[in-house]
Structure 1
């Protein structure tokens, strides 16, 4: 296997900061459990509160892309992290369901602010040939923090679910401090400085809309294992906190399996084929959830599912970055990122209703079947290559160098 080129310093610092943040980012999967247990809410009410959070993340993601262009990427990232910390503390201190709902909505409004600027830094700081690897490493960095996060969740969750939100808030603030001290201040261009700015309309790009549609479907499935898994475990007479162990197994697989994406036969796969294979692995893992009744079997299923996630993340974000015109990757990534907000809105309602009326086996079986459908769909609608020569501007055809890291 050939030696990989080192990633730029800016990207490496960003990866380190997100590991710190991810170490405490384990509270969201337990939001529905907290509302159900501490505030005596019904399963349907808990699902609706989580849906409100998801709905709030949609304008949050779009605002993140806009603010990154207007006030700078570093400032936007810090603003989002501090907002998340304030909302997490509000949820932890909530004395009533009303305050918990308000905290969940505030968390949604801040939750996605830092994603578009973070992803734009990565996508524009490395050459095209390294983008799949860079985004995969970003996913692995989050997973590395997630391994510790899952263990802390399993420990603190048995004590008091509110401490999950307090710890999450603390790591958000630490991450914001690391970003403030480690990343150089960027200087966004003034409005109107880019002559192409007014012609960039991501929602009119048919290729992006196709990727957005399949990405939303993938996110809907992924959110079930984030939001619904703790509740599903309780239906199987297992502790909800055991979800932390499953998250740890998935995270460990994502980190340890990183060399797989650099295997020659994997790198030679076209984007549609790679995404189809990924969804077959997801279907296998979800089928395991449907059939498993013991913790070891569930851990194995989580590991298989995470292999599918590993193949999806690097490919799809590299694809969206390549589809974007020069200087517009932040807005393209922001629009694509709304897929997670849409999914986070729909997933709690869909998951809680399936659990309440059909049970855990039906929930995971339906998600596995959905993955099989998506695998077939990718072979038909996903672009064969990330960026065809026809989509490149004359300037891009003359040069494929990445954006200068010194400007970030």
Structure 2
């Protein structure tokens, strides 16, 4: 297929399969408002201590790592569509199990199951987008994917605020319903995977691909910066004595920026490395503004800047990872690259809390800005190492 992308209409001509995947993932994201409340449910509803809750959530996070690897394996062997349906259905079963649990041990088992199912659908979704788009259209396709998730995240927060006034278990029931709805949508509307090879080739040395390992390292740094913003900005607002509601406003501004900039910025003509360097520069500037911010208005300016940077970074890293992969191993390559988010989710809480305690908000964000600036400077070096052999 061939799709023509213009600066003002970067999504025109994308495959219908891309739009279906984006819609399904966005609906699922809207329903995925349970995670911030999982610790509360374990503590309040099931009587877990704070220490027990921390261990349970850590086990959940650890379970998401093999979950993503399993999703990559199944995507290449079982097929993209079947794997997406399997992952979404698994999430729904686990969510319903949590909702109807009456003892802590039962909720813990359900939480572990949720972790093992949680990331299964990501690698096949990302791989299918690469399957049905030409290389030059992948930045636009992955950009649409990221923008839809950003918008859905804002709606998720609003729904969570509304439903959380009732029994918190209803959150998990609602999330299960959205997972099942998405699995039905995917099963009924996604095309057959004719572009996939009939016989998978299990001998592709995914873990011995040095370029993939280098890309994983760079992607992990980016994901850690991203997760530090997610975790650290609310804490920074508290440190500055600003209202808690400011976090929701910042998230909304970030989502609107991502969506609007997708339509307005002329980013398609940049190659991946120039786009990534530009993204890191914007993120670094935004982080410096955060370090100096003492009012919500300044935080909103910073949010616009780092969100513009994320626009360049999110889609281009996925484009690079899918471009490295042989078609018969694309799911596994994207699964391995996606481990960057599991690693970052483990690292970011430690770096944020340690830097906040030792250096304060300014030290946290100036250090993070320096890391982003270094990544921008290193892009010519990455270009040489990631070039085809």
Q: What TM bracket, shorter-length normalisation?
A: 0.7 to 0.9
Aligned to 1:71: 78
Q: Which one of the candidate residues 133, 141, 144 is aligned to 1:137?
A: 144
What TM-score does the superposition give when structure 1 sets the normalisation length? 0.80
1:17–1:179: 8 Å Cα contact kept in structure 2?
yes
Q: Which residue of 2 aligns with 1:297?
A: 298
Residue 286 (structure 1) shift: 2.7
RMSD: 3.2
Change (3 A) 1:40 1:92: same
1:201 alignment partner in structure 2: 205
Q: Which residue is equivalent to 2:229?
A: 225
Q: CA deviation at 1:140?
A: 1.5
Aligned residue in 2 for 1:329: 330
C-alpha distance in 1, partners of 2:145/2:340? 19
Give me the whole-angstrom Cα distance separating, in 1, the residues matched to 2:189 and 2:60. Answer: 31
Q: What SS is found at the alignment partner of 2:327? A: coil
Distance 1:148 1:173 in 2: 19
For residues 318 and 330 of structure 1, what CA distance do their matches in structure 2 show? 13
1:305 deviates by 1.4
- SS of corresponding position for 1:257: helix
Q: Secondary structure at the match of 1:328?
A: helix
Q: What is aligned with 1:123?
A: 130
Deviates more, 1:170-179 or 1:353-362: 353-362
Contact 2:139 2:268 in 1 (8 A): no
For 2:289 and 2:168, how far apart are their aligned partners in 1? 27
Structure 1 residues 125 and 184, CA gap change in structure 2 (3 angstroms)? closer
Q: Structure 2 vs 1, CA of residues 355 and 157 (structure 1 numbering), >3 Å: closer, same or farther?
A: farther
Q: Look up the match of 1:348.
A: 349
* Partners of 1:285 and 1:302 within 8 A in 2: yes
Deviation larger for 46-55 or 178-187: 46-55
Aligned position for 1:82: 89
> Taking structure 1 as reference, are residues 198 and 281 closer, same or farther at Cα in structure 2, changes over 3 Å only?
same
Alignment size in residue pairs: 380
8 Å contact from structure 2 (residues 99, 172) kept in 1: yes
Q: CA deviation at 1:63?
A: 0.2
* 1:77 to partner: Cα distance: 0.8
Query: Could you list the runs of 5+ residues in structure 2 that have no partner in the other structure?
Result: 1-5
Give the Cα–Cα distance (whole angstroms) in 1 for the partners of residues 100 and 171 of structure 2: 12
**1:299 & 1:223 partners in 2: Cα distance?**
18
1:6-405 matches, within 5 Å, as: 6-29=13-36, 31=38, 42=50, 49-90=56-97, 102-156=109-163, 164-186=171-193, 193-194=199-200, 197-238=201-242, 240=244, 242-261=246-265, 263=266, 266-355=267-356, 358-383=359-384, 388=388
User: Distance in 2 between the 1:317 and 1:271 partners?
Assistant: 10
Per the alignment, in what secondary structure is the counterpart of residue 14 of structure 2? Answer: coil
CA distance in 2, matches of 1:278, 1:284: 10
Normalised TM-score (structure 2): 0.84
Give the conservation status (yes or no) of the 8 Å contact 2:140–2:268. no
Is the CA contact (8 Å cut-off) linking 1:59 and 1:109 kept in structure 2? Answer: yes
C-alpha distance in 2, partners of 1:126/1:375? Answer: 28
CA contact (8 A) 2:92 2:176 kept: yes
| Contact 1:246 1:302 (C-alpha < 8 Å) held by counterparts | yes
Q: Greater CA deviation, 178-187 or 149-158?
A: 149-158
**CA offset at residue 379 of structure 1?**
3.1
**Structure 2 Cα separation of the partners of residues 119 and 107 of structure 1:** 20
Inter-CA distance 189–371: structure 2 relative to 1 (3 Å threshold): same
Change in CA separation of 1:288 and 1:219 when aligned onto 2, cut-off 3 Å? same
Structure 2: how far apart are the matches of 1:107 and 1:346?
Answer: 21
Give the unaligned 5+ runs of structure 1: 391-408
Q: 1:134 offset after TM fit, Å?
A: 1.0
Note closer, same or farther for the CA distance 1:272–1:325 as it changes in structure 2 (3 Å cut): same
1: CA distance, partners of 2:148 / 2:225: 22
